[in-house]
Structure 1
């Protein structure tokens, strides 16, 4: 199952919780990167894309509710 389909099955509350956790992780990754402690720099990109995917799924649900 893809990440997008898994997120589409999650509730909005669960998506919000996951997004908050990802924002915190992104902050920590940026801090580690700035202090040259980050080994896996590609994780920054992965986290950014997961946040974007969550925002997209939430937007799809809001658009669907308005119709």
Structure 2
């Protein structure tokens, strides 16, 4: 699990790259779950969406600091 405190140490570009990677991972997981009709980790999608939201929040904080 990612902590906001750890994310604040990363640069803005690294955070944006992390969001892209997490979204790709979530997309792939959802597609696999739909195709196999079997979900190994039901909470994976929920946790991944929360991580994405956490990173986006830190990105927004950094963008407001720059202004």
The answer to whether TM tops 0.5 is yes
Relative to its length, the structure with more helix (as a share) is 1
Runs of at least 4 residues of structure 1 off by over 2 A?
none
The residue number in structure 1 matching 2:10 is 10
The answer for unaligned runs of 5 or more in structure 2 is: none
State the Cα RMSD in Å: 1.4
The answer for unaligned runs of 5 or more in structure 1 is: none
Q: Which has the higher contact order (CA 8 A, sep 6+)?
A: 2
The answer to whether the 8 A contact 1:33-1:41 is kept is: no
TM-score (norm 2): 0.85
